[in-house]
Structures are given as structure tokens and as C-alpha cells.
Structure 1
Amino acid sequence: MDSIGKQFDRRQFVQGGAAAALGAAVAPNLARALPIEEEAPAKDGKKPNLIFLYTEGQRWDCLSSAGHPLLKTPNMDRIAHEGVKFENAFCTNALCAPARASAMTGMWSRSTGALDNKTVNTPLPSDIPVFTDYLLEAGYETCVVGKVHMRNGMKEKHWDYYLGVNAPATNYYKPKMAEGKNGKIGPVQVWNEGYCDDFVTDRVLDWLKQPREKPFALLLWYMTPHAPYFRARRHLDLYNGVKIPKPASFDDDLKGYPGKPTPFKTADNKIGTTDTGDAVRSIEELCKDYYSGLVAIDENVGRIFKHLDDTKAMDDTAVIHSSDHGYLLGEWRLFDKRLMHEPSIRVPMAIRYPNRVKAGAVKKEMVLDVDIAPTVMDLVGLPIPKQFQGRSMLDVVDNKGPAWRKEWLYDYYEFPGAENVAPHRGVRTDTHKFIQWYTQSPQEFELYDLKNDPNEAHNLYGDPKYAAIQKDLEARLAKLLTEIPERKA
């Protein structure tokens, strides 16, 4: 059988799909201009193991290594301390299923057709591989555990071990999950084995302890701290008596959200008023449950790392840590994600692999979820497929290749739907952000000077002083929409 890459390259899906010729057609801003040279990923010539730690709705600042005043996350911190930390990392569509598809395919939502959470029960189009397809072909054992929540749960793919839930939320003490081994996945069943992310970690450790001759690729995708915000029983009293400060913009809704457009004001993701199943009633409840969930994740990550340390496998394992999206924790009295505002789109990003990345590096370039798949390929020494629209983040680390991106496209689609957030898109640069609410008439817009207004308090759209910047950002957005092809139904 031909290789996955050759199968993919033969398909012509410019109109019926996502443009197979992207590698050659897209500007260097979006994709690598040249394929990588295959590198020896380990000193002994063996390919490294891979762990892709993908947390659920973890903001970029919700790590003790990011200076959080309450959270203690020593195990996730270790990845950044002993590797490289990217301080400006973002998702391109702040919603679970689309973000996960972008991380796995290296492509924007508009190009894969994975636009929203409503599409999770349809298979990922067969002409779009995920990066584990390439790793499987290269001799890796593959495993995914936790909240998959991506187009049919990726059940049509081969997994040496699978334990996943393909839903936005579940009962953490009686989760409904499917399990499978060696490419065969059983039916969904209710598990009653304690806190979900704890027992998932138990299963992962059992799998890791099995004898193997091949390298492994583990997708460690925990569910916490998604609604319904169940805590591990050991954390029921965590943060009791601790004061949660209000964000600077917390009371803006009482002032009519000055400067914000109508779709922002009418969205339902408001603390204390939403009637969705994700409802939260106070900022204290929201933040303390959210932080407790991240503590549970960190403890379980520590269990995985201890095993790798004990078996002398840690330094032979490339670890990537990121999150599907950020999370609003009371900014503008909101929770959830979806919006193109900083708490929603900014995520942690760190890579630990001593053979390729020196400890303690900090990078400020803007990296994206679409960069994860090409980075994986680079880390394990495989050529980066032409259809990937992102770039290997190791280009930033190694200071090689074309100039890094100066702007990027955000695109949100799900409407009508949960939280009533209207479709919008925009462009973000190192210093400014432009948002277009394009589905209503008249259209509305937001423009922020992020350097002088990092909290996005002052909408500058229409301000004559920013006319030139506004025009430039409008042109950049139009160009990105042209460069990133839209998959046709």
C-alpha cells in the first residue's frame, strides 16, 4: 500500500476539500516553504516516544510557572522549565472539537470542515490524515485517552489503546467511555472506578508498563476542568477561605459593556444568568472548581512522569503541552470560551525534549494549534506533509526557515448553539487585534491596541487616530481568508 502522504497528495480537493497543494500555494506566513530534512531524533538513532498533553480549557496564565498567585502546577511547569515555553500561543477556533481537529491535522477549521461541536458525530474526512496516522506508519504504537471530542472520537483510526469519551461533558465519577485495544474499540459503557482522570491515568500507566519494542505516541487528553466541574474528592475543600479577586472588567456588564458590539452583549455565557447545562452561579464557584481540576491534572501528569523517570525513559520522550482553548474566568462577567478575546484564545504551549530543545528557553513568537502537528513530525524526524498549514515550532527554537508569522486568522462558526455566541472572525498581530462580526446587518467590529490595552477595554474601531491601522488589519484579514482555502460541502 502506498504511504499516507502519497495517498493524500494524489487527491485533488481544492473544490471538494481543503486544497492539497497548500504546501506550495500558501504564503510562508502559514506553512513551511521547504520540507524539513529528516534528522536523527535521538543520539542512538531511535525515534523518541511522544506525549501530547492536551488539557481542557486551560488558560495560558493558569500555571504556577506563568506566575499564577494560587495555582501550584509543578509537573506541568516542569515541561517549560526543562524545555521551551512559548509565551504567545493561541487556538484558531476557541471550541473543543474544532481546536482538536486543528491540532491533529495542522489545518484551520475552514479547510478541514471541522467547524463546530455539532460535527463531532461525523467522521473526519477520509482525505485528511491526522498526525498519528503518519506515526503509526513510521512504526509507533498509538494511544489516546480521555476527552477525545473530535469527529467520531477518531474511532475509525487505529489505536493500540483507546479509552475515550466523545462528548463535551460527562459525569466525572460515572463517565461514559469506550475502550479498545489493537485497533478494536468496544461499545460505550459506564465506568464507576473513581474520579475519571485518575482512573484514566491508571489505565495509561498499565499500558506504558507493557513490554514494547516500538516507540509510543500517547495523546493524554484529560477532561478536567470542563463543566460540570466535578472535583476529585481529595480536593473538595481546596481553596476554602481563599479570596478570588474580580477581573478589572468584571463589572462592565453593569455599565452596558461600553464599546462592545451587540453580539458580544447578547451572548449567553454570563456567570449567574445562563440557562445552559454549563451554568455557574458565582466567580468564586467557577474559579475554585476550575483551579481544583487543574491541580488534579497536574498530580496525574506527575504520576506519568514518575514512571518515565523510574524507567529512564523521560529524556527519550518528547512532551508537548497545550490546551484546546483558553477560558473566561469572570472577564466582562463571562465564562466559557468561543470569543476572540485573549482569555478565550490564549493557551499554554511548552515542549520538553532534551535532544532537540535546551532547557529554559522562552519564545515570544505567536504559535498556534495548527503548529502542533508539524512540530510532532519535526520532533520525531519525519517529513512534514504538504497539506499542513502550520509550521514546526522548532523553527522558532532553532531560528531557521522563513520569517515567522506576523499575523494569523481566527474564525468561529457555531451558531445557533450553546452560549449563543455569533460567528465572528478576525486577525491578530503582535500588537493589535481586529474582530469582524459579519453575520448581522449592519456588521460590527472591534479593534484593540494590545500593547497599550492588553485587557481589551477600549474598542478603537472608527477612531480616526487608528484609521491607518484599521485599514491595514482589514487588508490582512482579507488576505488570510484568501490564502486559507475553505472546504466546500
Structure 2
Amino acid sequence: MRLFLSFVGLLFAVAAAFADAKKPNLVVMMTDDQRFDFLSCAGHPFLKTPNIDRIAKEGAHFKNAFVTNALCAPSRATLMTGLYSHGNGVLDNMGTKLREDVPWMPDLLRANGYEVGFVGKSHVPGHFRQKTWDYYFGFTGQGQYAKPVIAETGPDGKIGPDKAYDGWIDDVTTDHAINWMKKDRGDKPFCLFLFFKTPHRQWVPPARHKETYKDAVVKKPALWDDPGQGKPRAFLQAANMFGQYPDVHNYDEMIRDYCRCLTAVDDNVGKVLAALDAMKVADDTMVMYTSDNGFFLGEWQRFDKRFMHDVSIRVPMLVRHPKSVKAGQTPTGMVLNVDIAPTLLNFAGVPYPNTMHGRSMTELIAEPKATDNVKPWRDSWYYEYHEFPDASHNVNKHRGVRTEQYKFIHYYDPPFKFAQEFELYDLKADPEERTNLANRPKFKPVVDEMKAKLEKLRAEVGAK
């Protein structure tokens, strides 16, 4: 059941009003493990991302964008289906498979006249190779930064064998993506999914950026020395502390490499935008830039993602379409990765299935009309994490609800020796989530309210 139900007639009206008579091209670029605040347009002190910033400057920069399960494979499956993990079947990175009976947004686009290409990282079982694509150039698993091994669609339309390519992985994938974009397809619109490996561990920038930011001053986050007092054992016992793995011993150099990798992504975003300009289709193309999840980068001396804390779940979300999106917008409504599929379909003029859990973000960036009968945007949303036990980070299963003021987390299926545990944060008074209020008698009414809200949201999205 969708989180926000709309009348079928309204879906058709919004889709028809937002799409041009000529369907726009769609380009979706997604990074891996990029936090919302690691962009120069988000105020980073030394990272420079001028090409990504261009998307924000010429379009909309959503200030509160989140993922509903902060993990690679689940996030990608959610983007393509508009469904929560429990709805699409990809719960974790351990092999749970995409359900065959769920809507597949790329197929809906193809059925409505689009040529659709996938390039880069999928991470889900099958690597999206069981799906129908007009072009495919993808790798298995995490891929490798140097001399990547990739499979490509051949002249017969079938995906060929994996083979090695010289170069840095995201340079290779971007060049192939651009070559496909440039092919002659007449008046037929295209949709490109370009999913980068960067900046996933271990961070290996291309040679051209080996020395970039070498003199940058790296400051540890304000929460570096915070002991996490009052946080549940489910959080404190996770294996995600700096120093536990060889590539996370030198904090300063790790941050520099993380930024170097993102600068290389920005180079490739620039190549995509330049190609659209050269093709004279930039005004007719919707460009979206986002990430599959956020990342701890020293908060409580931790790294990785998975947990429901904002640094883990909050991502960049930029949308540019000169013909319909007013430049320089900064919407503050809470948008989710379940909203991406409905949004792309909306841009394409295709009504999205009411079985999708998301809602089109165009409602926040389109000029409203007096005749529009659109429901108020969401004021709360549901989060879920399923991967336990796993072989690495030992993060307990949990679910939660986030509103504009509060966040409530429930560790509901803990190891045998632990009881169920909870976290509650007042995000307005404590945006860094330092002080857990869940066990304070004064906040019991808030806990009760959030528990009720959590159960209501679970029922709305069909979570068991």
C-alpha cells in the first residue's frame, strides 16, 4: 500500500502537466556512500565539486533527502522499484533477491517509448543482467577501481562476457555511457542510469588526483571525542570503529582520498553535462544526482553506514530540468529514495503505479496551480534495516520513524543477551543526535507517540 495514496485521475493530471509534449531525456547519476554534506554547494570546507554544483545552481537542491535502508543493494533496488526493501525483496547485501512480481520502473519507461541504459554498479544478485536493457555496461559486486572488469551489451543485444578495461573505473563507465547517449535514436528519448563505484571503500583516486587536497586541513567532526554515553549497546558494539580495519587507520588521509575520489566523480559529471550541451539536448534532459546512502566519517570515531543516524541516511539530491524546474530552488520537505521512481515516471509523463511506496518529488518543485488537489507533503517516514548477523559490521536489525523534530529508533531483534533497545532524539534541539532521550521519564509521552506513529507507518507500507 502506498505511503501516500492519490487519485488515479490526479496522477494522470500531474504527469501530463509536468512532462513536455516531447518526453524529456532522463539521466540519473548515483554515487556510493556519499554524505549529503560532501559537496562544495553544501558548504564543504575544501572539497570542490563545480560540475555537481551546476546541477544545484540550475535546478533544485533538496536539503532533506534520505534513504529508507542505508545499504548498497537495497538502495539500488528501491530506486528502481519505488518500494521499500521489504516490498521489493532486496533486504541486505547478503544475497536476498529482487522479487519478480514488483513494478520495474525502467520497464515502464521502455513501454512508454524510452531507450533505457544501465551503466555501473548494481550490487544486487544478478547484477540487473536478467532485466531488459537497450544498453548495459555493468560490473559484478563492488567492482575494482583500477583495471575494472565489466560486461557490455553486444551488437546482438545480448550482454557479453566480463572483461578487463584499462583505466579508472568511473572514467571507463562514464565514457561508455556518453558514447551510448550520443547514438542516433531519432526522436526517441533516452534514460541513462549511471551508477558510480565512488566513493566506496577502499578509496583509490585516479592518478590525476593523487595529490589533490594534499595541503588541505582535515578537521575531525565535533562528535569525534563523544563517547556515545546513553546510546544503546546495539550501537556501541558494532564493528565500525576507526582502527578496526587497515584502510581506516589514518583519518586525515582517508578523508583526503574520499574527497579525491569525489572530485574525480565531479570530473565525470562534468563530462556528462558537457556531452548534453554538445548534443544540444541539455534543456530537454532531466538530470538527477544522488547517492545510495550516507556515511559516518568520524562521528563517535565510526565509519560506514547502516544505522539510522542522519549522517548515515542523509544523501545529496539534486534535480535539474530547465524547462520545468526553476533554477536555484532549495526544497526542505523530506524526500526519500522511494520517491525517485515516481519522480522519473512523472517527468516522463507516465502515471506511476499506486503500489509504489514513494511520491513524485515534482510536487515540491513544480509551480502549484489553483486547481491542483495535492495532499500535503509527508511529515514523517519509516526506516528499516535487516542485515544481521553479517560477517563484518555487526549492526543489529532496527526500524524507526523520523519526523521534522524527532527521530525514534527501535532495535527489535537483538542478539540473545541484549534486550530490545531504543533511541529518541530531538532533532531541533540536538541535530547531532548526541543525547538519547528514550529512557527519560519526561519524554515517555513522546516515545509513546513515536511508537504509535511507527506502527501506523509500518501498516501503511505493509511492513511485517
Both proteins in one fold, TM over 0.5: yes
The aligned counterpart of 1:372 is 340
Structure 2's unaligned 5+ residue stretches are: none
Q: Is contact 2:19-2:347 (8 Å) kept?
A: no
SS of corresponding position for 2:201: coil
SS of corresponding position for 2:94: helix
The aligned counterpart of 2:237 is 266
Q: Following the alignment from structure 2 to structure 1, what is the Cα–Cα distance between the partners of residues 126 and 140?
A: 7
Greater mean deviation of Cα atoms: 434-443 or 322-331: 434-443
Change (3 A) 1:166 1:129: farther
User: Which amino acid in the other structure matches residue 153 of structure 2?
Assistant: G
User: Which amino acid in the other structure matches residue 457 of structure 2?
Assistant: L
The 5-angstrom pairing of residues 176-325 of structure 1 reads 176-181=149-154, 183-191=157-165, 193-213=166-186, 214-252=188-226, 255=227, 257-274=228-245, 279-325=247-293
Cα deviation, 1:429-468, whole Å, max 9, x if unaligned, reads 0011001111124111110010011110101112222222
CA-atom RMSD, angstroms?
1.6
Q: Is contact 1:40-1:46 (8 Å) kept?
A: no
Q: CA deviation at 1:286?
A: 2.1
Q: Is contact 1:371-1:391 (8 Å) kept?
A: yes
Q: Is contact 2:3-2:357 (8 Å) kept?
A: no
Q: CA deviation at 1:150?
A: 2.5
The 5-angstrom pairing of residues 354-373 of structure 1 reads 354-373=322-341
TM-score normalized by the length of structure 1: 0.89
The 5-angstrom pairing of residues 33-112 of structure 1 reads 33-34=7-8, 35-37=11-13, 38-39=15-16, 45-112=21-88
Q: Is contact 1:41-1:48 (8 Å) kept?
A: no
Cα deviation, 1:391-427, whole Å, max 9, x if unaligned, reads 0001122355111111111100111113111111110
SS of corresponding position for 1:142: strand
Greater mean deviation of Cα atoms: 204-213 or 181-190: 181-190
Q: Following the alignment from structure 1 to structure 2, what is the Cα–Cα distance between the partners of residues 232 and 75?
A: 18
SS of corresponding position for 1:117: coil
SS of corresponding position for 1:319: strand
Q: Is contact 1:40-1:47 (8 Å) kept?
A: no
1:130 alignment partner, one of 79, 88, 104: 104
Q: Following the alignment from structure 1 to structure 2, what is the Cα–Cα distance between the partners of residues 87 and 33?
A: 28
Q: CA deviation at 1:334?
A: 0.7
SS of corresponding position for 2:214: coil
Q: Is contact 1:115-1:414 (8 Å) kept?
A: yes
The aligned counterpart of 2:420 is 443
SS of corresponding position for 1:445: strand
The aligned counterpart of 2:299 is 331
The aligned counterpart of 1:411 is 384
Change (3 A) 1:331 1:367: same
2:446 alignment partner, one of 463, 466, 469: 469
SS of corresponding position for 1:292: helix
Q: Following the alignment from structure 1 to structure 2, what is the Cα–Cα distance between the partners of residues 131 and 225?
A: 26
Runs of 4+ aligned structure 1 residues displaced above 6 Å come to none
Cα deviation, 1:195-250, whole Å, max 9, x if unaligned, reads 11111111122212221121110001111111121111001111113221111111
Indicate whether 1:171 and 2:144 are aligned: yes
SS of corresponding position for 2:86: helix
Greater mean deviation of Cα atoms: 337-346 or 144-153: 144-153
SS of corresponding position for 1:300: helix
SS of corresponding position for 1:152: coil
Q: Following the alignment from structure 2 to structure 1, what is the Cα–Cα distance between the partners of residues 409 and 18?
A: 41
User: Which amino acid in the other structure matches residue 388 of structure 2?
Assistant: F
Q: Is contact 1:318-1:352 (8 Å) kept?
A: yes
Structure 1's unaligned 5+ residue stretches are: 1-21
Q: CA deviation at 1:40?
A: 5.9
Q: Following the alignment from structure 2 to structure 1, what is the Cα–Cα distance between the partners of residues 130 and 143?
A: 22
User: Which amino acid in the other structure matches residue 204 of structure 1?
Assistant: A
SS of corresponding position for 1:118: coil
User: Which amino acid in the other structure matches residue 76 of structure 1?
Assistant: I
Identity of aligned residues (%): 46
Q: Following the alignment from structure 2 to structure 1, what is the Cα–Cα distance between the partners of residues 380 and 22?
A: 37
SS of corresponding position for 2:455: helix
Cα deviation, 1:359-417, whole Å, max 9, x if unaligned, reads 11111100000000000011111111121110000112235511111111110011111
TM-score normalized by the length of structure 2: 0.93
SS of corresponding position for 1:87: coil
2:434 alignment partner, one of 454, 457, 470: 457
Aligned residues: 450
Q: CA deviation at 1:33?
A: 4.5
SS of corresponding position for 1:420: coil
The aligned counterpart of 1:19 is none
Indicate whether 1:480 and 2:457 are aligned: yes
Q: Following the alignment from structure 1 to structure 2, what is the Cα–Cα distance between the partners of residues 166 and 272?
A: 28
SS of corresponding position for 1:145: strand
The 5-angstrom pairing of residues 385-396 of structure 1 reads 385-396=353-364
Cα deviation, 1:5-62, whole Å, max 9, x if unaligned, reads xxxxxxxxxxxxxxxxx2xxx453xx4344232416665x211100011111111111
Q: Following the alignment from structure 1 to structure 2, what is the Cα–Cα distance between the partners of residues 286 and 130?
A: 37
Q: Following the alignment from structure 1 to structure 2, what is the Cα–Cα distance between the partners of residues 303 and 404?
A: 35
Cα deviation, 1:106-162, whole Å, max 9, x if unaligned, reads 011111221001126x4x222113211011111111111111212311111111211
SS of corresponding position for 2:289: strand
